Structure 1
Amino acid sequence: MTSDAPVGARPPAGKTFFGHPRALSTLFLTEMWERFSFYGMRAILVLYLTAAVADGGLGIGESSANAVYGTYNAMVYLMALPGGWVADRLIGARRSVLWGGVVIAAGHYVMAIPTGWSVFAGMTLIVLGTGLLKPNISTMVGDLYERDSPRRDAGFSIFYMGINLGAFIAPLITGFLGEKINWHLGFGAAAVGMTFGVIQYVAGRRNLGDAGAAPADPLLGADRRRALTRVGVATAVVLVVLLVLLLVGWFTVDTVVNLLTVVTVLVTVAYFARILTDREISDTERSRMKAYVWLFVFAASFWLIYDQAGSVLNIFAADRTDRNVGGFTFPASWLQSVNPILIIIGAPLAAWLWLKLGHRVSTPTKFAVGLVLNGLSFVLMAAAAQAAVGGDLVSPWWLVAVYAIQVAGELSLSPVGLSATTKLAPVKYASQMLGLWFLATAVGDAIGGQVARLADSWSQATYFLTFGLASVVLGLAAVMFTRQIRGLMAGIH
């Protein structure tokens, strides 16, 4: 049986935050610092991996570095599934966010250690911590509104501003420290940012009331012990597999990346099958989940292209753009701040637009617009790549224009997708559904990391044009299926 009540408890009434519940400010600032750490590290990761050993980097080839980057992003979002389960069944969203922040900070501090092994060890901790924090903080935002309230999209758009405020500031600091002084100093700055986030979250917890304090569907007694045993066995199996790969000499960067890509896709298929065949969800919830499968495919396709900003486009910025301004060559990673500052500008406009339009523009239509715009950005990037043929350096304004188009697409799809996920979620899978939404990013990034290998063997113009046109075609196809998807959504707009 479905309910139109929000999942979880309401925070206490009182002062508002831009006309929204005061609790949104605590979650806004926590997410801002978490994204500062994430995007700060991400802005210099591929550049560090591909930098020569003599320059303090690891000297990994571009093809492998792009795949590592894509797979790392995929793992960050894949772990949102177990992170949502931990909150739903064991410790609640509030404690999951707290412990996730602590583990993320620890991971960045490990990456700040000036040795080669520290980067991969630190990324592992960040993956685990983000899995706990990311889906559950978004679930708590959803708890602040009625399930089908038009204000819900506006609230998520404001929350999205926090994400991008951190993402804007981070590359300017970590990029300068990493590229101009020392890579590990840049990673250390990300660690300090996440530390601020944890402190702020603890200080602002009084605003949250009972929201996220208890698991939505707690495991008790024997069920709890059985679940923890299964988690222990699964962890042991993963460690054994890694040990076997190490002993037989297959424990290489490419082997692990390929294995994790396959795991990401298989987990996605298995998780959708589990929800759709669960007899405890109603027919209406099952219909909504069928609609969500379509939205998931559209979102994964969007992120496959979009998240190459930190890999293929970042390397293009480093090698193919003229970054000299008044005798100062600014870090390539600074261009990673263009995207979030445009979102900061555009998010309030998007929040106003969705509130103004209400239910007149459906969620599937917004997704279709996002796909078309994302594809057009890569078509423009193909022109930039063609202009750089022969070794000429092109203006960074090419990338600025590409990011501007992508931002318009992102604001049509990403905050709307977060909101749609909380509205379409079966009650039983509240936090886990947010994990499933982030799994769309995981699938897109995992496949995108493999696709990015083609940038080495194809001409860059061909590479960008091929995938840009593919996204445009998919977006136009999505428009054709809008009516059918809306029917499956069973009253949710």
Structure 2
Amino acid sequence: MKTPSSQPRAIYYVVALQIWEYFSFYGMRALLILYLTNQLKYNDTHAYALFSAYCSLVYVTPILGGYLADKVLGNRMAVMLGALLMVIGHLVLGASEMSAAFLYLSLAIIVCGYGLFKSNVSCLLGELYEPTDPRRDGGFSLMYAAGNVGSIIAPIACGYVQEEYSWAMGFALAAVGMLAGLVIFLCGNRHFSHTAGVNKAVLCSKQFALPVWGWLLVLLLVSPVVIAVLFWQEWSVYALIVATLIGLAVLAKIYRQAQNQKQRKELGLIVVLTFFSLLFWAFAQQGGSSISLYIDRFVNRDIMGYEVPTAMFQSINGFAVMLCGVVLAWVVKEGVAGNRAVRIWGKYALGLGLMSAGFCILTFSARWSAAHGQSSMPLMVLGLAVMGFAELFIDPVAMAQITRIEIPGVTGVLTGIYMLLSGAIANYVAGVIADQTSQGAFDAAGAINYSINAYIDVFSQITWGALACVGMVLVIWLVQTMRIKKARRLALAS
């Protein structure tokens, strides 16, 4: 017998799909930069450019995917199509050693699949609850925790398979994971009968001489080709510029439509938080690019004769987020006293401070490598864990503030703009930063020797850059505190 607090049966199929989607995405991501440099022999500059372009565009396409789900496909169909595209993309990626065309096309297919999947899986979960259902928050927490499980396991499994067998098998495992999630989801299809399906009336209606389903088919075939060309010609930055200009125009429109000073003040707070989040994630996303290559080249990964695959280090971040999140939820209780804005800036200062501390450890590690040839693995693990812990004080804080804004009907739009800037643009900036480590010289045998000094310089600059952000946040925090004290004195005086 079900109790009122039990979750709907359908949520467990969504959670299973989320676990395997994270497994697929983070398993492939852990291998990608290593595959580009070690197997395809791309130079660091080319590899960083393609990696950052890929990581940027996966945050842009969910805007179109969400629109298609709202108007035509429904969340359930969009999620299934997205999962299928990601399976195909990972399989094509395994064949990319034969031709660069397969590489660009595979990444483009994954980007399209991610666009249909990412935002719509959360919306599908939301459809399982009535608006006032108290189980909703627990359902989203369960899905978030499940995703972290997938991101922890994936780099270990895919990294091991790649090391023991081949790159193609590593990418194929990511595809198998996504396929497993899709099969499990389809097995529970009957539990989603009450959710919105495909809008058949719109799908069969004619628009510009073709039925809508025909245009969708054209879009499905043309989009991967267009995105592949963006990767091939390194034009993704232009797509980001267009998306950013549109996002900023929408943000300006929302600001003009704000009805009072309080709403404008809340919106201004979100804008400033987004700016610091952009910088934070530009630093944090070094984990999948420059830090990964640093580990591969300059960290002693030997444990009792077994060399730990570099890709496995990508699990540390997810493990730190999950473990520290549980500890934080148990230890810290959110109080109602005091000013909320002051608490927000305190958390951001702590998050940026931890990021600075993490890169300070990595700088020490790089200096150790310069002096002794290689750095120790425990030092690397510590630095990555501290950086993972820092994430808990950034995105959750910003997202909570966005959901509190009192301007009606803009929460989803502001969330999309936040993800565009802190995701897509931050990943592009991360690529620019990572490229500063791509210094090397050829020896007499023609092999390239990468400069450890370049890593020391970049890690050190990020340490000081994050610390400077902490300083700016503390100034804002101090100003807020002084304003509150002044307001209290005036209130007492009156």
The TM-score by the shorter chain falls in which range? 0.7 to 0.9
The aligned residue for residue 324 of structure 1 is 302
Q: For structure 2, which runs of at least 5 residues remain unmatched after alignment?
A: 440-452, 484-494
CA RMSD of aligned residues (A): 4.1
User: In 2 relative to 1, CA 172–401 (structure 1 residues): closer, same or farther, beyond 3 Å?
Assistant: same
The aligned residue for residue 304 of structure 1 is 282
The aligned residue for residue 159 of structure 1 is 143
Structure-2-length-normalised TM-score: 0.79
> Following the alignment from structure 1 to structure 2, what is the Cα–Cα distance between the partners of residues 234 and 425?
36
8 A Cα contact 1:161 1:343, kept in partner: no
> Following the alignment from structure 2 to structure 1, what is the Cα–Cα distance between the partners of residues 335 and 405?
20
The aligned residue for residue 35 of structure 1 is 22
Q: Does 1:474 align with 2:469?
A: yes
> Following the alignment from structure 1 to structure 2, what is the Cα–Cα distance between the partners of residues 377 and 149?
40
8 A Cα contact 2:69 2:75, kept in partner: yes
1:82 to 64, 87, 93: 64
User: In 2 relative to 1, CA 104–242 (structure 1 residues): closer, same or farther, beyond 3 Å?
Assistant: closer
The aligned residue for residue 376 of structure 2 is 395
Percent identity, aligned pairs only, is 26
- Cα offset for 1:219? 11
> Following the alignment from structure 1 to structure 2, what is the Cα–Cα distance between the partners of residues 210 and 475?
48
The aligned residue for residue 491 of structure 2 is none
8 A Cα contact 2:76 2:195, kept in partner: yes
User: In 2 relative to 1, CA 221–193 (structure 1 residues): closer, same or farther, beyond 3 Å?
Assistant: same
User: In 2 relative to 1, CA 352–156 (structure 1 residues): closer, same or farther, beyond 3 Å?
Assistant: farther
The aligned residue for residue 7 of structure 1 is none
Q: State the aligned residue count.
A: 457
User: In 2 relative to 1, CA 190–95 (structure 1 residues): closer, same or farther, beyond 3 Å?
Assistant: same
> Following the alignment from structure 1 to structure 2, what is the Cα–Cα distance between the partners of residues 134 and 237?
20
The aligned residue for residue 40 of structure 2 is 58
> Following the alignment from structure 2 to structure 1, what is the Cα–Cα distance between the partners of residues 191 and 5?
10
User: In 2 relative to 1, CA 119–233 (structure 1 residues): closer, same or farther, beyond 3 Å?
Assistant: closer
> Following the alignment from structure 1 to structure 2, what is the Cα–Cα distance between the partners of residues 481 and 150?
36
> Following the alignment from structure 1 to structure 2, what is the Cα–Cα distance between the partners of residues 239 and 140?
25
1:193 to 167, 177, 182: 177
Please give the secondary structure, in 2, of the residue aligned with 1:283. Answer: coil
What is the CA deviation profile of residues 13-35 of structure 1, one whole-angstrom value per residue up to 9, with x for unaligned ones?
85635xxx665544332221111
8 A Cα contact 1:153 1:351, kept in partner: no
The aligned residue for residue 36 of structure 2 is 49
The aligned residue for residue 271 of structure 2 is 293
Work out which structure has the larger RCO, using CA pairs closer than 8 Å and 6 or more positions apart in sequence.
1
> Following the alignment from structure 2 to structure 1, what is the Cα–Cα distance between the partners of residues 346 and 134?
16
Letter of the 2:278 counterpart: A
The aligned residue for residue 136 of structure 1 is 120
Q: Does 1:116 align with 2:99?
A: yes
What is the CA deviation profile of residues 328-357 of structure 1, one whole-angstrom value per residue up to 9, with x for unaligned ones?
112111111111122222232344456644
Q: Does 1:103 align with 2:85?
A: yes
Listed as ranges, the matches of 1:309-458 within 5 Å are 309-352=287-330, 356-357=334-335, 362-390=343-371, 392-424=373-405, 428=409, 431-439=412-420, 440-457=422-439
Q: For structure 1, which runs of at least 5 residues remain unmatched after alignment?
A: 1-11, 52-56, 246-250, 488-493
Larger radius of gyration: 2
- Cα offset for 1:293? 2.0
- Cα offset for 1:120? 2.2
Letter of the 1:123 counterpart: L
User: In 2 relative to 1, CA 181–480 (structure 1 residues): closer, same or farther, beyond 3 Å?
Assistant: same
- Cα offset for 1:310? 1.2
Structure-1-length-normalised TM-score: 0.79
What is the CA deviation profile of residues 207-241 of structure 1, one whole-angstrom value per residue up to 9, with x for unaligned ones?
567556589xx999799999979999999998998
User: In 2 relative to 1, CA 281–190 (structure 1 residues): closer, same or farther, beyond 3 Å?
Assistant: farther
